[in-house]
Amino acid sequence: MLHDPAAHALYDEICSIPLIDPHSHINPHRAAARSLDDILGYHYYTELAHSAGMDKAPLAADADPRERVRAILTYADRFDNTVQFSWFLEIARAFLGYEGERLTAADTDWLISAADKAMARPNWEAEVQRRSNVEKIFLTNDFDDPLEGFDTNRYVPCLRVDDLMFGLKSQKEAWQRLERATGFDGRGGLKGLAQAIAKLFERFTKKGARACAVSLPPDFVPEFSSSEAAINKMARTFKPGPSSDVTRTISSAVFAMVLELCRDFKLPIDLMIGVNRRVYREGVYQGQDLFDQRTSLIEYAELFNAFPDVTFSISVLSSGQNQELVSYSWIFPNVVTNGHWWYSNVPAYIESDLRARLQAVPKTKQIGYYSDAYKLEFVLPKFNTYRRILARVLLDDFVRPRVYTEQQAVEVARLLLRDNARRILGV
């Protein structure tokens, strides 16, 4: 909530800007929630409730969805201080008509009933999109996604290459999926693999894909100065096929192929850097991973040098990493700051990280925010969190010191929320 009337007025102006959401996990075939369980099943709520003492039994796949909702809301009073709870409260108010001051477990039956009624409406998805003022939403598509049965103008495909970079090292299933998608059966070695990945790029771009993306673990280091050098290096040890016994450096070779194709197809690539998987092995589904501050962008500097025609939109997970990202985007023309990701998506961190970016990075090189949402209903509250902070920072750092007029500040917000994404992502 904004108590400053001037900040609130600026926020209202910013909310009129149609959104481009450049990264989500939304299923375009089932974009909107169909029950309250679809909302509270989001990993933020399951991991917070579990962290606060809830047993994992209600989270089992065969558990009654209503009882799962009831269990999570029973523990909600232990995490109603969090920004994640504020998103849920805003969803309840904006979409379900909740008017109470304090949402508790006592509201469970009313909330379930209200959600069932609202989400059963045949135009629910369109209604959520309209209220959220979202124009385009980028997806996260597996490399073998058929990309059929949805409006690719509204739900924009994005080729996720994690399984290509890391799955081909040891997963028979990944090789089989690649063969089904491209016909590549391992013959032809690295050259054949490069041709197979090129087929994926051709198919994706024909279907309207406008970006490529990958999540990179903290121990990944690109081991090349150019893709040609990487491929030559790998050729000596590469043994293709589903039972391939390759070293982890195959990831660098595939990465090189991907970057060459991003250059050739004129696609930017989103790098999400620094997640250490399964740190908390007994955690709930999707609640096991944490960031790792050993990551440094210096490991990627040669990559930025080697591919000057590829735009790298980069997400990091801590304010320390944000300072490094700010400096790289300050210097490198092809490095763009991208959103406030995961553990950085907390108002205190967003504000400091946003302030640093606005003070140091060209305003045309910033993609302000993305929802990372699994359901459409989260676009509105998540972007509202960012827009409130953006209004406050623009007012305090630019309007009041008379760097910008209020209208100029709104135009900066338009760059961050829409225009930069349209230009950088080509939509």
- pLDDT given at position 356: 98
Burial class (CB in 10 A: 0-12, 13-18, 19+), 214: buried
Residue 115: pLDDT over 50: yes
- pLDDT given at position 242: 47
53-102 residue pLDDT tens: 999 999 999 999 999 999 999 999 999 999 999 999 999 999 999 999 89
Strands 290-291 and 275-276: antiparallel
Residue 171: pLDDT over 80: no
> At 232, is the pLDDT very low, low, confident or very high (cuts 50, 70, 90)?
low
Range with lowest mean pLDDT among 25-39, 117-131, 288-302, 367-381: 288-302
Query: 10 Å Cβ neighbour count for 153?
Result: 10
The torsion angles phi and psi of 276, rounded to 5 degrees, stand at -100, 115
- The pTM for the full model equals 0.94
Domains 35-119 and 139-267 share a fold: no
- pLDDT given at position 35: 97
- pLDDT given at position 80: 97
Residue 241: pLDDT over 60: no
- pLDDT given at position 426: 93
Higher pLDDT among residues 423 and 169, named by residue: 423
Residue 229: pLDDT over 90: no
329-387 residue pLDDT tens: 999 999 999 999 999 999 999 999 999 999 999 999 999 999 999 999 999 999 999 99
Residue 16: pLDDT over 50: yes
Pick 139-267's CATH classification: 3.40.1360.10, 3.20.20.140, 3.40.190.290, 3.40.640.10.
3.20.20.140
What architecture does CATH give domain 35-119? Orthogonal Bundle (1.10)
> At 155, is the pLDDT very low, low, confident or very high (cuts 50, 70, 90)?
very high
- Report which of 282, 193, 200, 261 is spatially closest to residue 231, judged by C-alpha positions: 193
Residue 245: pLDDT over 70: no
Q: Which residues pair with 215 in a beta bridge?
A: 272
Is-contact 241 175, C-beta < 8 A?
A: yes
Residue 189: pLDDT over 50: yes
Higher pLDDT among residues 73 and 192, named by residue: 73
Every domain of the chain and the residues it spans:
35-119, 139-267
The torsion angles phi and psi of 367, rounded to 5 degrees, stand at -95, 110
The torsion angles phi and psi of 365, rounded to 5 degrees, stand at -115, 25
The torsion angles phi and psi of 342, rounded to 5 degrees, stand at 55, -105
Considering only CA atoms, give the Rg of the chain: 22
- pLDDT given at position 21: 98
The average confidence (pLDDT) of the chain is 92
389-412 residue pLDDT tens: 999 999 999 999 999 999 999 999
Range with lowest mean pLDDT among 232-236, 257-261, 269-273: 232-236
Q: Stretch 122-130: mean pLDDT, rounded?
A: 97
